[in-house]
Structure 1
Amino acid sequence: MAATAANDHEEASAIPPQTTATRNGVHVAPFAGWRINNSQLNALAARYATPWDPSGAAPPAETALTLHAWQQSNTLIQDPQPALYAYEQSGPRGAVRGVLGAVHLDSKLLPHQDLIPERVAHICDLVHETGFNLDPLMLSYPGTGRAATWLDHCRSSRPVTEVLGDDGQLHRLWRLAEREAVHDIGAELAGRSAFIADGHHRHVAARQLRRDYYATGSGPGGWDFVPALLVDARDTPVRIGPVHRVLPYTDPDQALSAAAQRFHVQPIPGELRQWVQRLREQTRTGPAFVAITRGGAYLLSNPDRGFVNACLGNCPAPLHGLPLSVLRHVLIDAVWRVPDLPEYVSPETSAATALARVRRAGGMAILVPPPEHRHLRTAMSAGLRLPAKSTSFLPKPHPGLLYRSLAEVPAPR
């Protein structure tokens, strides 16, 4: 069992989904979810505990044993009848609400990021071993208000699950089993495509797992669907935050000395909050990053423009404005010559966690400003994918409130 850390959102801005109406649309179906027993909510869900290890370090077989033990001990209980679920989160880290359902994998879902193949393979193994979908995708779409009306309706009744997380976020879940609700929400989504705000690896892993099942002679089944939180962007726009990088094997002194040949490097006094604020201010005038070492923090700014342009020569032009493009092609590749592999360059959504990792194990963390709305729109308009782990849409749904078994086959279209 592991506890997941809530993500920081030092910098965030509203971003509408890049969606267009399609004939395919999004097909969503009710399912009988597995939920943490209310008697265990404060012990587990309040601290974001899950049967799986979010770092991916635990073997899938170990996760399967933990999950099945939770079932046998009634820590996880299954709802008796299928339903859509209304979900709402609010608190100091922001608010989001939407409908949780089983989304057919042939739905029109729009990705925007590249993938880490090893991460996809691990999720495939995890789902195959446990027989469960775990974290839901987070999908954003431009709605007409029909789903929002049902979400408003739910708030007048008592939720089936309500828990206050240790980060101050309140999470509530209702069952939406009324036939009229299922019909209205399904009809609203049938003519829409949805932007994948979070869960690219889980989405591709689900598609790969489905191919594996079909290749072994299995026909249609629960593997044709993946759970997702569907958020109407016109009702509650999702926000975008940064994804930082941790370089665990990089010597900070050598890295800063090399960076000083191409950037202006200066120490920053204070603590994490001041470092993030300084980065936010400096980013307004050009590319900038904060390097965190055990000895303190340093601002990297005002790069040699000619050198930057030369390093970005093989990077598609619409991606030049992305902070991660400059970090990867200029600093990581050209200046530091660090292999851009997960063991050498690790994504981290929480600046506090990145700082803690450096203080505990050494190396260096690089705080990155979030992509701007205009940069994302430019890249997607050109048909380009952002580098893997470029964005973190916030706030994310609670990772452990609702699970879906692959053994359950939702009703056909």
Structure 2
Amino acid sequence: MARITPFKAIRPTADKVSLVTSRSYDDYGAAELAAYLEFNPFSFLHVLNPAYVNQQKLGWEKRFKMVEHKYQDFKKEGILVQEDKAVFYIYEIHSKNHTFTGILAGTSIADYQANVIKKHEDTLQYRVDLFKDYLHQTGFNTEPVLMTYQDNPEINEWVTRKKLEVPLYEFSTTNKEKHTLWKIDAETEINWLQEQFREIGNLYIADGHHRSASAELLYEQDKGSGNETLNHFMSFLIADSNVKIYEFNRIIRDLNGNSKEEFIKKIAENFVIKSKKQELWKPKHKFEFGMYFDGEFYALRLKEEKFTFGNTLEQLDAQILYNTVLNPILGLGDLRTDERIEYIPGTRSITSIKDMVDNGEFEVGFMLYPINISEIKAIADLDLIMPPKSTYIEPKFRSGLVVYEL
């Protein structure tokens, strides 16, 4: 039984919403970030990166306080306003190739702790601690956890009807996406939606394992304060069929002392290898892998007859690659922290992998076939943990669109 709750959000005024909202802070290169900060005084990037002198030399606590001060400035200047009452939202992102529609709501810390909200990724404790301190010092979060739920015809039909109504916001962004937000404030609809989710059962974290873990840690730290907003964290709930899952490809800096001949020979023990020369080849099926090495692309096909898989995790291509190549041949250990490996999301062209190998920064690149939502849910149901960077999942939420205050 999944419990969701409406919340009194902070959001931009309608006339400034397209100017305020931004992509995730980490999504910007240095030049693009500098341009936004210089020419757009309303961008939420000013909150996330307040322009104080020598801020980079300050400790995290002081930097987080500066973020909080700039956030309060945006509220005082009327750039951001608060809802009069607790509400839900329907949010739609329309890009060139996909349309994503979901529900913004508060999700329960108690459900997270009771495994009603299921996880499939491990977290780095220092990142959880750091974001917990960020939440504590700034008092707000604008990046919801992306969660999926089993497709529900009644919810789908209700969402379709609500989208015919006049939206709260409708705006476009410079990356050619259209964003639309509807407010759900009628008590009857709020109660109905809560009942629907109680009947759904489990929610599954698709993206945001560190954010949810940090929210739990903050709750445990401050639960005696009487602040009931800590009992929930903001989530973007989207039906299983509406998420888009890409692979994360791998590039490795060296061959762990192997010669080219030794490397290929060891891979051939578990894979059928076929040279694709200069064809920009990527896998089209599970158990297939692409490899770019020494100026050539290769297709690798797992010799399935050699393997007996015990569960869904063991069948994941990312796990197979680790067990057969990355660990035994290339000597990679903890994929979360090993500096010899980096990850390229499947949204980027594989020519970027070719370029990074060709310029000598990396020795070999591997392309994977994307995982599907059923595999993610099966692993979560078994309380297993997927290899790091197994999925790059869309949609991505815009910072500053809806803020959850703590």
Alignment of 1:370-381 (within 5 A): 370-372=370-372, 375-376=375-376, 379-380=379-380
Contact 1:138 1:199 in 2 (8 A): yes
Question: Structure 2: which amino acid aligns with 1:223?
Answer: L
Contact 1:94 1:395 in 2 (8 A): no
Q: CA deviation at 1:109?
A: 0.9
2:243 to 233, 238, 247: 238
Q: Match for residue 335 of structure 1?
A: 329
Q: Match for residue 126 of structure 1?
A: 134
2:103 to 99, 119, 122: 99
What TM-score does the superposition give when structure 2 sets the normalisation length? 0.74
Cα gap change, 1:381 to 1:77, in 2 (>3 Å) = closer
What TM-score does the superposition give when structure 1 sets the normalisation length? 0.73
Q: Match for residue 72 of structure 1?
A: 73
- Output one character per residue of 1:176-200: Cα deviation in whole Å (capped at 9) or x when no partner: 1111111111111123221222222
SS of equivalent residue, structure 2 residue 191? helix
Mapped partners of 2:10, 2:197: distance in 1 = 24
Mapped partners of 2:78, 2:261: distance in 1 = 53
Q: CA deviation at 1:254?
A: 5.9
Mapped partners of 1:26, 1:209: distance in 2 = 21
Tell me which moved more, 394-403 or 145-154: 145-154
Q: Match for residue 366 of structure 2?
A: 366
Tell me which moved more, 160-169 or 329-338: 160-169
Alignment: residue pair count: 359
Question: Structure 1: which amino acid aligns with 2:348?
Answer: A
Superposition RMSD in Å: 3.6
SS of equivalent residue, structure 1 residue 334? coil
Q: CA deviation at 1:132?
A: 1.3
Cα gap change, 1:85 to 1:392, in 2 (>3 Å) = same
SS of equivalent residue, structure 1 residue 352? coil
Tell me which moved more, 167-176 or 115-124: 115-124
Contact 2:23 2:399 in 1 (8 A): no
- Output one character per residue of 1:155-207: Cα deviation in whole Å (capped at 9) or x when no partner: 23332222323333211112111111111111111232212222222112211
Question: Structure 1: which amino acid aligns with 2:337?
Answer: P
Mapped partners of 1:324, 1:404: distance in 2 = 35
Is 1:90 aligned with 2:85? no
Question: Percentage identity across aligned positions?
Answer: 17
Q: Match for residue 392 of structure 1?
A: 392
Contact 1:245 1:367 in 2 (8 A): yes
Cα gap change, 1:377 to 1:353, in 2 (>3 Å) = same
Mapped partners of 2:93, 2:163: distance in 1 = 12
Q: CA deviation at 1:227?
A: 0.3
Task: Work out which of the two has the higher radius of gyration on C-alpha atoms and give 1 or 2.
Answer: 2
SS of equivalent residue, structure 1 residue 159? coil
Q: Match for residue 321 of structure 1?
A: 315
Mapped partners of 2:60, 2:97: distance in 1 = 31
Q: Match for residue 138 of structure 1?
A: 146
Contact 2:123 2:209 in 1 (8 A): yes
Is 1:116 aligned with 2:111? no
Q: What are structure 2's unaligned runs of at least 5 residues?
A: 26-44, 50-55, 268-272
SS of equivalent residue, structure 2 residue 230? helix
Q: What are structure 1's unaligned runs of at least 5 residues?
A: 1-24, 407-413
Cα gap change, 1:375 to 1:142, in 2 (>3 Å) = closer
Contact 1:88 1:97 in 2 (8 A): yes
Mapped partners of 2:61, 2:344: distance in 1 = 22
SS of equivalent residue, structure 2 residue 366? strand
Cα gap change, 1:239 to 1:219, in 2 (>3 Å) = same
Contact 1:255 1:336 in 2 (8 A): no
